[in-house]
Amino acid sequence: MSDSNSTANELLSILNNLAEDSINQSPEAFLQTLPERVCQYLSVPVCIIWIRDEHRDVYKVLAAAGEIDDDYKKTELEINHPGVQFLSRRKVFYLSDITQDRYRLADQKQLIERGWKSLLSSPLKIQQEVIGIVSIFTKDKHVRRFQSCEKEIFLSIANYATLSLQKIQLGKENIDKTNKLDNLTDKLHKLTSIMFDITNASKIDEIYQFLLEGALKLVNPAQIMIFRLDYKTGRLNVVKSNSTSYQKRVAEYGTGAIGKALEIKKPIVIEDINKSVLPNLLCKIHQDFFLTKKAIAK
């Protein structure tokens, strides 16, 4: 097994453990232990979770771990500070060297005094509202270049933190919404398990089978087809499906919903395939079996 695969397996195992704990622990307990685990998982000396104050326009430290002193834990970030606003508009925010003056961070002076060097941060959002921030720092003399897989696990951790914060906000007054959050957390857990299985697969057919079974577990769709691109012909052939009647279906690269999604490397969501505005997106061969009201092509 290659080093990259070993790293991927390790990170997926971490996410699997986080998913289980987010379900089994109270959201308060989960958030308090999360920073220490992040420090361990990503080999960083500092992790901080900030939460928005209910009465003032500031973020306060909710939980922290690593080489962080009590004075810094009292630091507040002003929501309207340009640096905080800039971060809030990003999915993930990375600074290789926070000592550079041009960044103008809200707490830049305190960070430099503590010898912190690189920053990776993500806003915790409910819809478009930022309810918190999770940040990690390094203290190395040289900048830290985070790998793409490390950024992905960091974003996943931010998602779990967001779900826990939302559970706390909802409290016991809104059981229905809390149950929906629990269901979402459970789906994240299932998704992580599926990714772990795929990463450990030794044959391509096993990957297809894990994808098929995983999709059935996650969304329970009426119809699933997994296509494989033939680079010589540009044809997309069905290699797995939950129905034998579609095993010989084909599509073309760049045409139809499936071929177009592959070309642009983004999901295409079709709410109603029967509407007249869609034929230009659909392959002719698909029109006889895209019968559901919602189809998601990847």
Is 50 exceeded by the pLDDT of residue 114? yes
* Domain end (from 194, 224, 245): 194
Residue 38 inside a domain? The answer is yes
- Of 136-145, 230-239, 248-257, which range is least confident? 248-257
Counted domains in the chain: 2
Residue 261 inside a domain? The answer is yes
Q: Give the DSSP letter of residue 285.
A: G
Q: Do 159 and 22 have their domain in common?
A: yes
Residue 206 inside a domain? The answer is no
Q: Do 185 and 38 have their domain in common?
A: yes
pLDDT for 187-229, tens place per residue? 766 776 777 677 777 788 888 888 888 888 887 777 788 888 7
CATH of the domain at 96: 3.30.450.40
66: β partners = 46
Q: Assign 52 a pLDDT band (cuts: 50, 70, 90).
A: very high
Q: Do 65 and 145 have their domain in common?
A: yes
Q: Do 184 and 236 have their domain in common?
A: no
Q: Do 42 and 172 have their domain in common?
A: yes
Q: Do 40 and 102 have their domain in common?
A: yes
CA distance 155 to 131: 15
Confidence (pLDDT) at 293: 34
Predicted TM-score (pTM) of this structure: 0.64
pLDDT for 133-148, tens place per residue? 999 999 877 889 988 8
**Mean pLDDT across the stretch 158-174?**
78
Which pair of tokens denotes residue 60? 């306060």
**Mean pLDDT across the stretch 172-192?**
64
Q: Do 49 and 112 have their domain in common?
A: yes
CA distance 52 to 40: 26
Is 90 exceeded by the pLDDT of residue 50? yes
Q: What is the CA radius of gyration of the chain?
A: 23
**Mean pLDDT across the stretch 178-183?**
63
Distance of CA 46 to the CA centre of its chain: 21
Q: Do 178 and 267 have their domain in common?
A: no
Q: Assign 261 a pLDDT band (cuts: 50, 70, 90).
A: confident
CB of 9 closer than 8 Å to CB of 196: yes
Is 70 exceeded by the pLDDT of residue 275? no
Residue 231 φ/ψ, nearest 5 degrees: -65, -25
CA distance 171 to 32: 17
**Mean pLDDT across the stretch 235-244?**
79
CA distance 206 to 89: 39
Residue 79, helix vs strand vs coil: coil
Residue 154 φ/ψ, nearest 5 degrees: -65, -40
CB of 94 closer than 8 Å to CB of 146: yes
Q: Which domain holds residue 223?
A: 214-297
Q: Do 61 and 190 have their domain in common?
A: yes
Confidence (pLDDT) at 59: 93
Residue 200 inside a domain? The answer is no
Q: Do 183 and 219 have their domain in common?
A: no
Tell me which residue of 53, 106, 254, 250 sits closest to 95, measured CA to CA. Answer: 106
Is 70 exceeded by the pLDDT of residue 43? yes
* Domain end (from 194, 228, 251): 194
**Mean pLDDT across the stretch 35-54?**
93
Residue 204 inside a domain? The answer is no
Return the number of other C-beta atoms located less than 10 Å from residue 70's C-beta.
7
**Mean pLDDT across the stretch 101-130?**
84
CA distance 75 to 93: 20
Confidence (pLDDT) at 113: 87
CA distance 294 to 277: 14
**Mean pLDDT across the stretch 3-18?**
69
Q: Do 170 and 70 have their domain in common?
A: yes
Q: Do 90 and 168 have their domain in common?
A: yes
Residue 208 inside a domain? The answer is no
Portion of the chain with pLDDT greater than 90, in percent: 21
